[in-house]
Structures are given as C-alpha cells and as structure tokens.
C-alpha cells in the first residue's frame, strides 16, 4: 500500500457523490459513548449494546458495557496495531499487524475461552500476493520523462507491481466465514476452517494527471494527460441485505486536494470473484455500515463527515464528526469513532459517539 499519507448497501443506494454537500438540515448531535481513546479506528457493537473500540496504535481493545465503566479487554504484548473489529454473538474478531520490525499480520478471535489465531494473513500474502500481477503508476512514460519526475513523487508515479504486504483493516462475519478487507494487499480475503482464500482483488483507481495535479507535485509536462493507477486500499467490508459484500476503497497515492475525491464503494459477489464499482467521488472513506432498510452509511475520515445514502436516494451528510474512522449500525443508531489522529500530545481524545437516527428524521 503506497500512500503519501498512511492511516497505519445495497446496490441502488450507492449513487455516491463527492464531499461538496451542504450540511444535513436535521443533523443529529453525537452523544459520547466512551472517550479517552488512542487512535480508535474500528468499532463493533454486540447485540446487547456493548461497544468494543480498538485503540489501534496503542495496541488495545476497550469494552464499554452500557451503565458500566469502560475496561481494556485486550492488550497486545507485542505492541502490534490492533483493529478490524467485528462481533458475532460473544466472539470478538480482531486483527494484529506489526508496527515495526519484521512484518506480520494475523486475525484472531477473543472469547471467554481466550484468544485464538484463526489466520496468518502475512503468510498467505507472501505465498500468493493476489495483486502481484497488477501494474500501478503511470504506464508509457519515456526514459527522459521518468528522469524528470521529482524523486519524492516517483514512488506513486513510476510503474510498479503489487507488493507482498498485508494490513488487515476490517472484518465482517457471514455464517462460518470471516471476510477481511486488507488495505495493503488490495484484496478481500475469506477465512474458513479450510484456511484463507482470496474473494476478490479490488481494481486500481485511475486518475488523469491534470495541470492542477502537475503543479501540486511539480511533475514534468510529459505526464499531463496520462492516467496514474493507484492501489485500491480497501478499508471496510460489510455484508449487505442481499448477501453480497460491500467494500469502501481509499485509493493510494497522495492525500492531497489536487488529486480530487477518488474513494469508492464496490460490490463483491462471494464465490465469483466478481467486483462492481457502485459509486465514487468520496474523500477518504474508511467506514461503512448498512442499516436493515438498505441505507448505507459512510464515514469519510479527512472530510470529517458521515454520509447517509437511502436505498434509491441521494447521499446526504448525516453528521459532522471530527476524523471519523469507522461507523457501525445498531438498533436504530450509528456508532462512530473520532480517531484523534491529528493530536499533538496531551490526554488521549479519541472516542466513540452515538448518533440516533430517529433524531435525524
């Protein structure tokens, strides 16, 4: 996953627009659920309303039972990044990714009987590298053109093949299968008792290099009009009411306004490897939730906005939330993480907030 800035649904619902939208006329005021968190990039809500929040870069998971004090229920001794939460009954699924040293990425379950590793995604990626045949960057540049590209921009402009790397960013449970959106592998994996398999490889985002992009990154004139293919970077996966998977994609390359809003949502049909782009024009979509009526909710991290897209309707900003990392639907409410990624020190200010959907009607 090559990025300048890293962050270590029904089909008819997703006629998605960009972020230049007016604030919601009846936007709800988010209610704090649990605070004092470090980089909460993932949230899961159990049937009884218990909230689980990852503290990704602090290597912990916090549990908040309604009416009780929050408690840390998992702390990783290896100081790995902890995230990709999902809950099924009383079993919590999460992922752990190395934050330094030798690479590693694995998926675990946590229950009353303890912690169990259910997949080694780094081992699977090393052996298979599903996007290894994909070419990213700009094809067809002359040698002289390549030489004129600033060194710090070459990583995303010059052509390269998909790397062997894994960063499980989100999970979803469907029966006996755990689906994983792997932001570094650019793929959706499936974990069953038989092992790990590739459900789909997301297509690269394609961005035409305009005069504005050229100027922003001091690219030579020979690049103007060319198409740069950036890595897909899947950030969330959800099971829709139709049984298909829906995935948010936050493309690689620079996180810069000059690049435009290139995030998208894809539909993946399990068992077929079929991928369909449902809509785009999103800024940094990192979380996706789907309500029982087919309404899709998308958290857009750097736009500090949560969108609601009713089935067959137009997308509307539902709420302004500072740096929303993840969104989950539960019992008529949305649970959204405020990631506090831009904190410059002091007490941790990340939190999970609750938005009552009844209050937005």
pLDDT tens-digit series, residues 339-351 = 988 766 678 999 9
Report helix, strand or coil for 179: strand
DSSP alpha helices (H): ranges in 8-153? 121-128, 143-148
| SS3 (DSSP) at 155 | helix
pLDDT at 26: 56
Q: Residue 80: which of 108, 61, 100, 62 has the closest Cα?
A: 100
Give the span between the Cα atoms of 354 and 306, in whole angstroms: 12
Question: Is the predicted pLDDT of residue 6 greater than 50, yes or no?
Answer: no
Q: What is the pLDDT of residue 18?
A: 38
**Closest Cα partner for 277 from 314, 239, 249?**
249
Q: CB under 8 Å to 252, separation ≥6 — which residues?
A: 1, 2, 3, 136, 156, 205, 230, 231, 232, 233
Confidence (pTM) = 0.93
- pLDDT number for residue 314: 76
Name the pLDDT band for 271 (thresholds 50, 70, 90): confident
Note the pLDDT of residue 315.
80
Kindly report the number of other CB atoms within 10 A of residue 32's CB atom: 10
Show the tokens assigned to 49: 């309303």
Rounded Cα gap, residues 34 and 49, in angstroms: 13
Lowest mean pLDDT among 71-85, 153-167, 254-268: 254-268
Question: In this predicted structure, what is the pLDDT of residue 272?
Answer: 87
pLDDT in tens, 7-46: 443 333 333 333 444 445 556 789 999 999 999 999 999 9
Q: Which domains does the chain have, with CATH numbers?
A: 11-360 (2.120.10.30)
For tokens 């004092």, name the residue: 36
pLDDT value at 274 more than 60: yes
Of 160, 117, 119, which is closest to residue 138 (Cα–Cα)?
A: 160
Nearest to 232 by CA among 180, 182, 186: 186
**How far is C-alpha 318 from the geometric centre of its chain's CA atoms?**
19
Q: How far is CA 5 from the centre of its chain?
A: 14
Contact 74, 64 (CB under 8 A): no
Tell me which residue has tokens 């390359």: 253
Q: Give the per-residue pLDDT at 4.
A: 36
Average pLDDT over residues 204-227: 97
Residue with tokens 């309500």: 291
- Contacts for 230 with CB less than 8 Å, ≥ 6 apart: 2, 136, 156, 204, 205, 206, 207, 251, 252, 253, 262
Task: Tell me phi and psi for residue 297, to 5 degrees.
Answer: -125, 130
């Amino acid at each position: 996953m090559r990025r300048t800035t890293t962050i270590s649904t029904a089909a008819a619902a997703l006629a998605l627009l960009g972020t230049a939208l007016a604030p919601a006329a009846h936007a709800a005021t988010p209610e704090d659920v649990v605070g004092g968190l470090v980089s909460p990039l993932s949230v899961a809500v159990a049937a009884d309303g218990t909230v689980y929040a990852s503290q990704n870069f602090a290597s912990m998971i916090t549990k908040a039972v309604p009416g009780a004090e929050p408690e840390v229920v998992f702390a990783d001794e290896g100081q790995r990044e902890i995230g990709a939460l999902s809950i099924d009954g009383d079993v919590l699924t999460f992922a752990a990714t190395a934050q330094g040293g030798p690479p590693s990425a694995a998926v675990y379950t946590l229950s009353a009987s303890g912690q169990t590793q259910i997949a080694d995604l780094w081992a699977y990626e090393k052996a298979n590298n599903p996007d290894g045949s994909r070419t990213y960057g700009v094809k067809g540049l002359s040698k002289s053109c390549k030489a004129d590209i600033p060194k710090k921009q070459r990583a995303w402009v010059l052509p390269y093949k998909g790397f062997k790397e894994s960063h499980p960013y989100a999970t979803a449970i469907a029966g006996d299968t755990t689906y994983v959106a792997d932001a570094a592998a650019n793929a959706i994996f499936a974990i069953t008792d038989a092992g790990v398999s590739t459900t789909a490889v997301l297509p690269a985002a394609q961005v035409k290099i305009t005069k504005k992009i050229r100027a922003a990154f001091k690219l030579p004139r020979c690049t103007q009009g060319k198409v740069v293919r950036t890595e897909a970077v899947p950030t969330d996966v959800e099971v829709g009411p139709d049984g298909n998977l829906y995935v948010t994609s936050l493309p690689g390359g620079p996180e810069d306004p000059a690049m435009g809003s290139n995030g998208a949502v894809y539909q993946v049909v399990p068992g077929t490897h079929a991928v369909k782009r449902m809509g785009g024009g999103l800024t940094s979509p990192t979380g996706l939730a789907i309500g029982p009526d087919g309404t899709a909710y998308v958290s857009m991290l750097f736009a500090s906005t949560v969108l609601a897209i009713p089935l067959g309707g137009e997308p509307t900003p539902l709420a302004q939330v500072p740096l929303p990392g993840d969104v989950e639907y539960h019992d008529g409410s949305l649970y959204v993480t405020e990631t506090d990624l831009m904190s410059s020190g002091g007490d941790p200010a990340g939190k999970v907030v609750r938005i009552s959907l009844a209050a937005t009607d």
